[in-house]
Structure 1
């Protein structure tokens, strides 16, 4: 089985780290280019890259335009000529304040990293995807961005940024349909990453019922990524522009 080349943002922790790990182990002919904005904190990722020579780590802050402009030079240094699958995973969730108490810079930072950054990075890797027939463009989104549902949790800047991401993914799927791109937003589920655990713990005092309910729905990064890899591998033209859960369920926008 021949391998594929993946470009995965935010591979230093959580879902991104697990994506890199499972894809590297699945096939030694896979090539995984992944990113971190803080190399000094990505010790485990660099250790993993030493163990699996098909992993390449580059520096990237998806919320910084100057950093995004370095992508091509870093890919050329590695010798990457083409990319099969782009997985936009890097993101932030740094506030549960209500709208009236959320500062402008918090809104703007979430928009820059969670919404705008993924598409600006895609602009840089687009030509590499054109060299392959696979042309899968995957955005790790969130059920928090579903505007037809409401949750008893203040998500404000994060939820807003994911809703905007989903809107843009739909548009991109239409724009690139004639070039046979498959563009899909996916929800990884309620994953027990360190960031999620901190947010969930804060609910115990403010919303104990929802805190108890969400604990029963938590899945591990390993379980989430197994599901994500399974559905991504099966995506075809008919799936472009549809919002999927990690288990293959179709979600509303």
Structure 2
């Protein structure tokens, strides 16, 4: 059986790894959506190397882009899609603001960042899912995987503490959107929708050829890891390799059924409440 997949937010990090991993099976057809060719060099190279990989420019924050991507994908996939992976994410317009507490920001500045983050992290996945529904309805598996984050878990945020406020808020909204779409009738159609936290994945290893992390982001990331390590003693403090994260999350969505649809879970599985 040909397995068809669309990955939104595929230019780098986990999104690129989903495309890379799934396309290793030449029977699969994998489409990666990217917002800008400036950051999608590796995806575009992969599309040149493998006949079963296709790269389509589409900013998930723009309806016209998504509509155009659906049309192109439909022609490539003969109108049938098995799995949609919503991986696109907006963290912060400026590194110094990523972990800045909400009450320390100016109202105008915070409003602008919230709008930008909601458009990509919440609105984008909802619109992408809606517009790809005709293709998914014609597919074999009817599955949607929304990549969320443990930063969207209230207990984790309070216990760690894990302070990435704008990102956390907009991803938590995505979790609720997953539930809302499920009970809105898609489960009855045989769809399986899950919001999955991939845990902590090292998407920028020391030997990465991508631009190194901004010093502020590197510092904030180190502090976040330290807080998580202190709060969750059973975590070894080491981020998973992207390949491991991708395999674990795909295993979860592949095993899931419509009966579990709408849940926000971790990469450890449906009945597992462990986040790290």
When normalised by structure 1's length, the TM-score is 0.89
Please give the alpha-carbon distance, in whole angstroms, between the structure 2 residues aligned to 1:242 and 1:207: 25
Match of 1:250 in 2: 272
What do residues 195-234 of structure 1 show as CA deviations (whole Å, max 9, x unaligned)? 9965763237867842765871411111101111222221
Match of 2:21 in 1: 22
Q: Report the 3-state secondary structure (helix = DSSP H, G, I; strand = E; otherwise coil) of the residue aligned with 2:246.
A: helix
Match of 2:6 in 1: 7
CA shift, 1:6, in A, is: 0.4
Please give the alpha-carbon distance, in whole angstroms, between the structure 2 residues aligned to 1:32 and 1:125: 14
CA shift, 1:163, in A, is: 0.8
Match of 2:128 in 1: 121
Q: Report the 3-state secondary structure (helix = DSSP H, G, I; strand = E; otherwise coil) of the residue aligned with 2:114.
A: helix
Unaligned runs of 5+ residues in structure 1 are none
| Residues 1:185 and 2:195 are matched in the alignment | yes
Q: Report the 3-state secondary structure (helix = DSSP H, G, I; strand = E; otherwise coil) of the residue aligned with 2:84.
A: strand
CA RMSD, Structure 1 to Structure 2 (Å)? 2.6
Match of 1:134 in 2: 141
CA shift, 1:41, in A, is: 2.4
Instruction: Give the aligned length.
Output: 251
CA shift, 1:244, in A, is: 2.2
Match of 2:262 among 221, 227, 241: 241
More off after superposition, 66-75 vs 2-11: 66-75
Match of 1:155 among 157, 164, 170: 164
Q: Compared with structure 1, are the counterparts of its residues 207 and 36 closer, same or farther at alpha carbon in structure 2 (3 Å cutoff)?
A: closer
Please give the alpha-carbon distance, in whole angstroms, between the structure 1 residues aligned to 2:166 and 2:86: 19
Match of 2:178 in 1: 169
Please give the alpha-carbon distance, in whole angstroms, between the structure 2 residues aligned to 1:193 and 1:69: 29
CA shift, 1:76, in A, is: 4.2
Contact 2:74 2:80 in 1 (8 A): no
When normalised by structure 2's length, the TM-score is 0.82
